[in-house]
């Protein structure tokens, strides 16, 4: 998993967004932050479409298809991301009711 974090950090660095991607960066200009969030949202949306295509794929050679395998990995990561969001939302909701 650290490998994926390194890739994301490098890509963010290449886009001019620095630092650890797991913590907010106060030095990131609002325009960059907004653009990054928009790109992240676009990526999640297109990946969701890809997940639906993978889930409904009936090709007999899909288990041998490199593209299909990569798409399946994307689907697994999106599922983990959704689980984190759901889990975090539940924890934040419990703290707010105290």
Query: pLDDT per residue over 44-54, tens digit each?
Result: 888 888 888 88
18: pLDDT strictly greater than 50? no
In which band, very low, low, confident or very high, does the pLDDT at 40 lie, cut at 50, 70 and 90?
confident
Structure pTM? 0.50
**Length of the chain counted residue by residue:** 98
The pLDDT value given to residue 91: 78
Asked whether the beta carbons of 37 and 43 are under 8 A apart, the reply is: no
DSSP string for residues in 62-82: GGG-HHHHHHHHHHHHHHHHH
CA distance 50 to 68: 10
pLDDT in tens, 4-13: 455 455 555 5
Higher pLDDT, 92 or 34: 34
């Amino acid at each position: 998993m650290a490998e994926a974090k390194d890739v994301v950090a490098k890509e963010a660095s290449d886009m001019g967004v620095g630092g650890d991607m797991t913590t907010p960066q106060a030095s990131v200009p609002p325009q960059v932050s907004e653009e990054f969030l928009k790109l992240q949202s676009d990526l999640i949306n297109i990946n969701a479409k890809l997940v639906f295509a993978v889930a409904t794929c009936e090709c007999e050679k899909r288990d041998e298809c490199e593209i299909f395998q990569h798409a399946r990995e994307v689907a697994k990561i999106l599922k983990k991301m959704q689980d984190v969001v759901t889990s975090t939302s539940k924890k934040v909701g419990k703290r707010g009711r105290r």
